[in-house]
Structure 1
Amino acid sequence: MGSLRLRFTLVFGVMFFVAAAAVLVVSVVLVDNSMRYTLDLAFPAASPLEPPHSAELQRYLAVQRAAQPATRRNIQETMQFNLVFKGGLAVVAVGVIATTAGWLVAGRLTRPLRVISATAERVAGSTLHRRIDLQAPPGEVKSLADSFDGMLDRLDQAFAGQSRFIANAAHELKTPIAVNRTLVEVAMNRTDAPPELRQLGENLLAVSARHERLIDALLTLARAENSVTDSVAVDLAELAESVLDTAAAEAARRGVTVEDRTGPAVVTGDPVLLEQVVRNLVDNAVRYNRPGGVVTVTVAPVRDGVELEVGNSGPQIAAHEVPLLFAPFRRLTDRVGSARGSGLGLSIVRAVARAHGGEASARPRPGGGLTVRVLLPAGPRAFGPRGRTGAPAQGIR
């Protein structure tokens, strides 16, 4: 928008200088013609001489006649110089004032466009609930702002309808799955149930549990893609430590060592969604790891906010495959056979990070594995309520 204001100012300035130069040239021509006529009257080319009364008077008149062309030329050149020089200075001075006024006028003219642009940036970065509501007389800019508000209304309704549909569909799907799980458990607990029935029941329960996790992931994803309404100060390190305590048993069962490198770092956001981010990253890092591998969890304040970084020593991942991991229901070839994964973990991580004004990215680790980095805006305090200071604590969990 600044470039548009600058272009308007340049157009105003150039138009003024061109018009002022044209006026100055016309003025010089008109004044020159007027001075020629006046000088012709003041210094006639020939005039009858009175009979000389003396030789001295005759010589004086002859000298005056001889000096007339030089005097006339001097007067004309002086007039032209004064007009061009002083007129040019006036044009420059007034041009600077006019250009400054043009800058101010251009700023006022482009102010509604700046409002529209700022609203569009806020909508793109956070929520669809904002509106321009431009208070201006009817015109092209007012019509543009109203059209933009109407488009936002339709988008807001569409996204709200989509979220309601996902939530309602997930709720309706949970009911039959719960009923099926109950029936399977009743059948498995019958005293006369054969071993084949019990084995089939265990498989059906595992499938039902996976479907329930998928539905919960869809609900979390739908919630994360909306604006964050429950924003409080949260120590991301405390969330990470709580998740690590929960994942310690699974990590020990798989022979995975977890390195806790968390330090106090406060963010502002929804604690439930933020905990889901940490949990998804830690679960993925433990699940898709090699026996005897390592998982590192780092939480620390950085210049741009608060950084959460989770890395593991899993299989080799090519750089061009990393963006696929953030797409919903997309997993790498070696992950397709997972009985627990739904392909929504990193999608939820990125959606929650963006809903909080942050971003999530990933990069392959040398020697195999993946490092996922989540950057979130810092909260109101530099340290958490536990009051820890100094470098992040390092340890083996």
Structure 2
Amino acid sequence: MGMLRGGTVRRRFTILYAAGFLVSGIVLLALTYLMSGVRLSTVAPGQAPTPVPTGEPRLAAAEQRIRSLEGQLADVHGQQDQRLFLGSLIALVVMVGLSLLLGRFLADRVLRPLRLITAATRRISAENLHERLAVTGPADEVKELADTVDGLLERLEASFDAQRRFVGNASHELRTPLATLRASLDVAVAKPEPAAQTLALAGRLRTELDRLDHLLDGLLVLARAQHGAFADRTLVSLAELAREALADRAADIAAKDLALDAEVRPDAWSRGSGVLLSRTVRNLVDNAIVHNEAGGWIRVSADGDGAEARLVVETGGRVLDQGEVDRLGRPFERLGAARTGPEGSSGLGLSIVAAIVEAHGGRLSLQARPEGGLCVTVALPAASDRPDGAAKARVTA
């Protein structure tokens, strides 16, 4: 029973088929043996027929000879029955083995459409929900299952499209009132001799407006990354993007007195959206700076092995819980219970990175370092036509 409850459907089907064949063979063999026994019971070995009263010696000798022949015939029949039973038993064992092979073959044929449905469903992700199984054939249970999956994919595609359109449209529509609020603040501050309270309030409002604008920009990038359609797909160097991001944030790195160790190699090339991949690298660098301790360190490396182009950003700090780290790829997730992050953080940085990496067919790894801090690894498919001759660059600060 344990073998039937566990394992694959093919194994269970094969075992059930062989078990059914074995039971039917045993029943057939038992019936054959019983019928053979009935036949033998008519003439039992050594049983003498009813004697015929006679006194003649020759007739008595004939009767004795007849009894001897009947006994020999019964022995022959018994041996034949034993050989027949043994041969049937051997044939049953051989046929059980053949039934296992036949059951496996039949299970493969029966379950082949289900395997095709499973493989096709695995290939379909959020980026190609427009694909359908489109199983053809008779209107049986398998086709009904495939049609049900197609209907589910259609509903999922509509839901994903509606979500992306809402995020994009809402972000665009909110930019107009934000621009109006900024203009109103500028007008209020531009008046002759504005009150000190007005200037203080305008400063706080500008800070919140900048934060809201940053949030909307992040939502737009996230919606574009989740859509997965890149018109600007080109050859991109992760090493060059890392150098640019580190150079742009050099002042912030120095302000926090962070030790920087950056090693980028010329073979970290991939293909994709240059704008989105640049945003990915900048988000990782920004995250390493903003969520770092004063006087801490940052280690950035970029390399490739012909199959993947990798970017690794490591930071020191306190020991983090891996369960919380695993959730950082979701929108608005932060470490700890705080809902607002430092320096106007929107909580979208790593979720944007995760969406961009997934849209480019790569993988994102977030690992809490045992010594403390975080290690973020981005691996993208390497470009087959990457240029050669770029020199290895190493920056240490």
* TM-score band w.r.t. shorter chain: 0.7 to 0.9
Does the 8 Å CA contact 2:357/2:380 hold for their aligned counterparts? no
The CA distance in 1 between the partners of 2:145 and 2:337, in whole Å, is 48
Counterpart of 1:240, as a letter, is A
Structure 1 partner of 2:17: 12
The CA distance in 1 between the partners of 2:83 and 2:390, in whole Å, is 78
Question: Aligned to 1:373, what secondary structure does the other structure show?
Answer: strand
Does the 8 Å CA contact 1:349/1:360 hold for their aligned counterparts? no
Cα RMSD of the aligned pairs, angstroms, is: 3.6
Aligned-pair CA distance for 1:153: 0.8
Question: Aligned to 2:95, what secondary structure does the other structure show?
Answer: helix
Does the 8 Å CA contact 2:362/2:381 hold for their aligned counterparts? no
Aligned-pair CA distance for 1:12: 0.7
Counterpart of 1:66, as a letter, is S
Counterpart of 2:315, as a letter, is N
The CA distance in 1 between the partners of 2:102 and 2:374, in whole Å, is 57
Structure 2 partner of 1:163: 164
| TM-score computed with the length of structure 2 as normaliser | 0.82
Where do residues 302-321 of structure 1 align in structure 2 (5 Å cutoff)? 305-314=308-317, 317-318=320-321, 321=324
Residues 147 and 34 (structure 1 numbering): CA distance in 2 closer, same or farther, change over 3 Å?
same
Residues 234 and 29 (structure 1 numbering): CA distance in 2 closer, same or farther, change over 3 Å?
farther
Does the 8 Å CA contact 2:365/2:376 hold for their aligned counterparts? yes
| TM-score computed with the length of structure 1 as normaliser | 0.82
Residues 185 and 362 (structure 1 numbering): CA distance in 2 closer, same or farther, change over 3 Å?
farther
Equivalent of residue 257 in structure 2, options 236, 255, 262: 255
Equivalent of residue 340 in structure 1, options 330, 340, 344: 344
Question: Aligned to 2:366, what secondary structure does the other structure show?
Answer: strand
Structure 1 partner of 2:205: 204
Where do residues 65-76 of structure 1 align in structure 2 (5 Å cutoff)? 65-69=67-71, 71-76=72-77
Unaligned stretches of 5+ in structure 1?
Answer: none
Identical amino acids, percent of aligned pairs: 31
The CA distance in 1 between the partners of 2:270 and 2:254, in whole Å, is 30
The CA distance in 1 between the partners of 2:89 and 2:393, in whole Å, is 73
The CA distance in 2 between the partners of 1:47 and 1:239, in whole Å, is 116
The CA distance in 2 between the partners of 1:386 and 1:241, in whole Å, is 18
Residues 318 and 63 (structure 1 numbering): CA distance in 2 closer, same or farther, change over 3 Å?
closer
Counterpart of 1:13, as a letter, is A
Residues 101 and 341 (structure 1 numbering): CA distance in 2 closer, same or farther, change over 3 Å?
same
The CA distance in 1 between the partners of 2:82 and 2:374, in whole Å, is 79
The CA distance in 2 between the partners of 1:44 and 1:387, in whole Å, is 109
Does the 8 Å CA contact 2:316/2:373 hold for their aligned counterparts? yes
Residues 334 and 316 (structure 1 numbering): CA distance in 2 closer, same or farther, change over 3 Å?
farther
Structure 2 partner of 1:28: 33
Does the 8 Å CA contact 1:297/1:309 hold for their aligned counterparts? yes
Unaligned stretches of 5+ in structure 2?
Answer: 1-5
- Worse overlay, 57-66 or 348-357: 57-66
The CA distance in 1 between the partners of 2:69 and 2:256, in whole Å, is 116
Structure 2 partner of 1:241: 243
Residues 78 and 157 (structure 1 numbering): CA distance in 2 closer, same or farther, change over 3 Å?
same
Counterpart of 1:292, as a letter, is G
Where do residues 74-85 of structure 1 align in structure 2 (5 Å cutoff)? 74-85=75-86
Structure 2 residue 377 is matched with structure 1 residue 396? no
The CA distance in 2 between the partners of 1:269 and 1:179, in whole Å, is 36
Structure 2 residue 308 is matched with structure 1 residue 295? no
Aligned-pair CA distance for 1:36: 5.1
Please list the CA deviations of residues 56-78 of structure 1 after superposition, one character each: whole Å capped at 9, or x if unmatched.
x9647634523532x13421222
Question: Aligned to 2:93, what secondary structure does the other structure show?
Answer: helix
Residues 49 and 274 (structure 1 numbering): CA distance in 2 closer, same or farther, change over 3 Å?
farther
Structure 2 residue 99 is matched with structure 1 residue 94? no
Please list the CA deviations of residues 142-179 of structure 1 after superposition, one character each: whole Å capped at 9, or x if unmatched.
22221121111111101110110110000000122123
Where do residues 13-162 of structure 1 align in structure 2 (5 Å cutoff)? 13-34=18-39, 37=42, 45-46=49-50, 59=61, 62-69=64-71, 71-124=72-125, 127-162=128-163
Counterpart of 2:281, as a letter, is V
Aligned-pair CA distance for 1:139: 2.0
Does the 8 Å CA contact 1:266/1:379 hold for their aligned counterparts? yes
The CA distance in 1 between the partners of 2:274 and 2:9, in whole Å, is 43
Question: Aligned to 1:308, what secondary structure does the other structure show?
Answer: strand
Count of aligned pairs: 386
Aligned-pair CA distance for 1:371: 2.4
Where do residues 165-184 of structure 1 align in structure 2 (5 Å cutoff)? 165-184=166-185
The CA distance in 1 between the partners of 2:86 and 2:126, in whole Å, is 56
Counterpart of 2:26, as a letter, is A
The CA distance in 1 between the partners of 2:263 and 2:187, in whole Å, is 46
Question: Aligned to 1:225, what secondary structure does the other structure show?
Answer: helix
The CA distance in 2 between the partners of 1:178 and 1:90, in whole Å, is 89
